Copies of this chain bind each other. A is one copy, B any other.
């Protein structure tokens, strides 16, 4: 797949612009203004706005228009809290289906994560790929989708999560520990590592966000 629908490009662009604070935070976004800004009609704008709203990037207050959803320590805390409960759960279902191919795929991704010079964004994507590969094995589409949505919501925050260089090293260590426990078929331990892994990331993020404000 090479070319994309215009609206898809617009969606990616607007998301990026929210990440980069290109879109004003306090003021309501007008459809016509966005329409001019991005060079498309209001129809695809409306579609994308609805999508971004559903994914937590924007908040709407009736007919007063859409506003960029500000970063919020409480929201981050909840998102990571939910993840820390659901991801060990799906890992439990995945366990029995984990074969060498999947474990190999996961290891490959971990190695890619070691490569220097990764952008924060690709780092975040690879990170989710690692977790996702393991979770897919559970064969639980609904549970998986729910977790996937949470990651989407978290993706607004990952830029900050990786601020501490030290954190990345720690995170990688935990990833390998997780794989190791899975290889030994120690489910309980694997779940514990995973839960800790997520909770810690959440705590660091919340602490950082609280200091910012």
B-binding residues in A (CB < 8 A)? 43, 46-47, 50-51, 54, 74-75, 78-79, 81-82, 85-86, 89, 140-143, 146, 150
Q: Given contacts A50-B50, A85-B85, A89-B85, are A78 and B142 in contact (CB under 8 A)?
A: yes
For the complex, give the distance between the alpha carbons of A78 and B90 in Å: 10
For the complex, give the distance between the alpha carbons of A43 and B50 in Å: 13
Q: Which of B78, B86, B146, B150 is close to A140, meaning CB atoms less than 8 Å apart?
A: B78
CB distance from A188 to the nearest CB of B (A): 17
Contact (Cβ within 8 A) B86 A82: yes
Contact (Cβ within 8 A) B51 A82: no
Which residues does chain B contribute within 8 Å of A142, judged by CB atoms?
A: 74-75, 78-79
For the complex, give the distance between the alpha carbons of A46 and B46 in Å: 11
